[in-house]
Structure 1
Amino acid sequence: MQTVFSSVLPDVPAAAVIWLVLLTVAAVAVGALVARPAWLRSAVTGRIRQAALPSHVELAEQERERARYAEEIAVAARRAGATAERCRAGWLAAQEEVEAAWAAYEAAEADVRRLSAAAAMPLPHTAQTPAEYADRERFLHRAALDAYWRKELSVEQLSDVFAHRNGWDPRRHPVEQELVLHRAIRDNLAARHRGAVDREREAWRAAELAAAAARSLRDEAFAALDRRSEEIESVVPMPELRRPAAEPAHEPASTARGHAPVPAY
């Protein structure tokens, strides 16, 4: 027993010194934590943030993606703008077609009123002979063919004239035949005007949709450019970018006239 104690006791002072050193280090660490918690938190938070931030390679790849997207949107915006211009030109052409169709209809209506007044007067008497009927038939066919070549009669109407159906009677007096012919011309031009109005309405809707799409893509292109600029300005300051003033929306033509009114949009 004495031999065991004699071998252990000389190491006790050394062990005590080691424990004292460890306790001192622990006390100093605890004191530092208590005295400077903000510094420790900032250090830890900074390391975490730095570890979470993307690397330079990732930042470069993100910038390339933003540049590619901005360029694609810019190209799409330019194409949409060109499409909107074409649609607007088509709408203006449709407006001109409506105006021309209305003018032709008004002229035909004036002719019908003039011939109606003439037909109300006593008609000159002519001999009702086969030769007279042949002359009346030739007059009707020639007048209808001339109107067809002037694009005042449709193919269906011309076929009815030569087939003597749907009210076409070559035995009538030439004044009556001319009145019936001009009424048919008026009706055909009225239908043509209604068709032109429908086409103008569709062209206006297409122009409005194309203009809205162009405005949307243009705004998205500027937004993409702004996002790129914000990223670049963090390194190199850049001048302020300004958007152009918004364009006024198109307005449909007011073509409501006479017998073929245009519904309000």
Structure 2
Amino acid sequence: MDSALQSFLSAVPQAAAIWVTILLLLAIAVVGAKLPRAKAFVQPEPDENPYAAEVESAAAEAAEAAVRRRTEWSAAQEAVEATWAAYEEAELQTRRIAAATAFPLMSRRRKPGDNIDRQRYLHRAATELCRTQDLSIAQLNDVFAHRGWNPRLHPVQQEAVLHGAVRAHRLEAYRKAVAREQAAWRGAEAAAETLRDLRAEAASARLRGPASESADQQWWSEQWTGAELPAAA
């Protein structure tokens, strides 16, 4: 009995040492598993050159504005081509009708109501041309008010006059499209120049470093805020 008790008592320190070793190994494993996760939550260091970062942000917005202006210019160019094609078609139709009406019409005594019929024909034809955007609303108003229009002309003669008005309308549309295209081009060029200046300033600020920020650079930073960029571009 005494020998068994002595054997048990002598084995207790060994078992305790084994359990302590196991617990230490488990603790080391848990700490090692948590270390990579702790690194994921490390906050990035703030930019040491806030002026350069601000100019770079303004340059990014200016780049988006430049893309929009370029897209608008491309659409304006397509509009110029379309309006010119429409004008050429109107010019061709006007020449054809002018050639067909080159010979004078036979004069005859008008029947009662002929003038009313001719006026109705003019109004219907002008309304249809306005519906297809071959005449403007202003031109249609002139037709109904008989400003510069003779409603008593023969329908063949009215066709020649109407297509002449269509040609004038298409020419005016082409001129307006050219003006819009030129304005869009100027806007695209201004946006591109703004983008170049901002990128150059951002690169220069990075090279100079944070210690060289001056009052002039601070003024530039205040000028190119995000809210003001689209208007400036």
TM surpasses 0.5: yes
Shift of 1:85: 0.7
Say if 1:164 and 1:170, in contact at 8 Å, map to a contact too: yes
Distance in structure 2 (CA, Å) of the matches to 1:159 and 1:136 = 17
Structure 2 partner of 1:177: 158
Q: Which structure 2 residues correspond to residues 183-202 of structure 1 after superposition, within 5 A?
A: 183-202=164-183
Shift of 1:189: 1.0
Structure 1 partner of 2:98: 116
Say if 2:50 and 2:210, in contact at 8 Å, map to a contact too: no
Say if 2:73 and 2:185, in contact at 8 Å, map to a contact too: yes
SS class of match (2:103):
coil
Distance in structure 2 (CA, Å) of the matches to 1:87 and 1:74 = 20
Q: Between Structure 1 and Structure 2, whose CA radius of gyration is higher?
A: 1
Q: Which structure 2 residues correspond to residues 114-263 of structure 1 after superposition, within 5 A?
A: 114-123=96-105, 128-166=110-148, 168-228=149-209
SS class of match (1:198):
helix
Between 149-158 and 199-208, the greater mean CA deviation after superposition: 149-158
Structure 2 partner of 1:77: 59
Count residues in correspondence: 168
Between 122-131 and 217-226, the greater mean CA deviation after superposition: 122-131
- Tell me if 1:88 matches 2:80: no
Shift of 1:133: 1.9
Distance in structure 2 (CA, Å) of the matches to 1:66 and 1:78 = 19
For residues 10-64 of structure 1, the C-alpha deviation after alignment (integer angstroms, 9 at most, x for no partner) is: xxxxxxxxxxxxxxxxxxxxxxxxxxxxxxxxxxxxxxxxxxxxxxxxxxxxx97
Shift of 1:75: 0.5
Structure 1 residue ranges without an equivalent (≥5): 1-62, 232-265
Structure 2 counterpart of 1:176, one-letter code = Q
Shift of 1:139: 1.1
TM-score, scaled to structure 2: 0.67
SS class of match (2:113):
helix
Say if 2:48 and 2:210, in contact at 8 Å, map to a contact too: no
Say if 1:98 and 1:197, in contact at 8 Å, map to a contact too: yes
Distance in structure 1 (CA, Å) of the matches to 2:119 and 2:189 = 52
Structure 1 counterpart of 2:154, one-letter code = H
Shift of 1:100: 0.8
SS class of match (1:130):
coil
Structure 1 partner of 2:215: none
Shift of 1:150: 1.1
For residues 129-167 of structure 1, the C-alpha deviation after alignment (integer angstroms, 9 at most, x for no partner) is: 23322221111101100111111212221111011121x
SS class of match (1:121):
coil
**Structure with more relative contact order (C-alpha pairs < 8 Å, separation 6 or more):** 2
Q: CA RMSD in A?
A: 2.3
Q: Which structure 2 residues correspond to residues 41-60 of structure 1 after superposition, within 5 A?
A: none
Shift of 1:225: 2.5
Structure 2 partner of 1:250: none
TM-score, scaled to structure 1: 0.59
Structure 2 counterpart of 1:217, one-letter code = L
Between 192-201 and 146-155, the greater mean CA deviation after superposition: 146-155
For residues 223-264 of structure 1, the C-alpha deviation after alignment (integer angstroms, 9 at most, x for no partner) is: 223334999xxxxxxxxxxxxxxxxxxxxxxxxxxxxxxxxx
